[in-house]
Amino acid sequence: MNRTARTILVYLAVIFVVVLAVNVFVNQSNEPTEFTLGEFNERLEAGAIESPVLMKAKSDEIEGTYRTSDQTPSTQDFRVSYPGETEDELTVAIEAAGVDVLVFE
């Protein structure tokens, strides 16, 4: 193999590794933050949960968006699992906090 072919292969390998690294980084940042039920309730009481939240009754999950801090207007997606028997209490608490709830069966 001549020198030019080896150089081209090295550049292609470097480009491939860079593209893979960028892809992994971008995909990780799109994953929602997993909350415990306690963390969700703390953010709900602090007014950090954005309307609306999606309550998935069959999978016992709540998904939505929260403000990451009061100083910056950025938001992040979240997901929280909850015990099925607390669904009614959670719905009341979310609505009492002024957040709209969309329930899906």
pLDDT above 70 covers a percentage of the chain that reads 90
**Does 72 lie in the same domain as 96?**
yes
Within this chain, do residues 68 and 79 fall inside the same structural domain, yes or no? yes
pTM for this entry = 0.66
Mean pLDDT of the chain: 86
Residue pLDDT, tens place only, 42-88? 999 988 999 899 998 888 999 999 988 766 667 889 999 999 888 88
Q: What is the CATH number of the domain that holds 88?
A: 3.30.720.210
In angstroms, the CA 55 to CA 47 distance is: 18
Residues 11 and 52 in one domain: no
The answer on 65 and 25 residing in a single domain is no
Instruction: Count how many domains the chain has.
Output: 2
Q: Are residues 61 and 41 in the same domain?
A: yes
**Do 23 and 38 reside in the same domain of the chain?**
no
Q: According to the model, what pLDDT value does residue 5 have?
A: 86
Cα–Cα distance measured from residue 25 to residue 73, given in angstroms and rounded to the nearest whole number = 22
Q: Is the pLDDT of residue 26 over 70?
A: no
CA distance 41 to 62: 12
Amino acid 38: pLDDT: 92
Assess whether 21 and 40 both reside in one domain. no
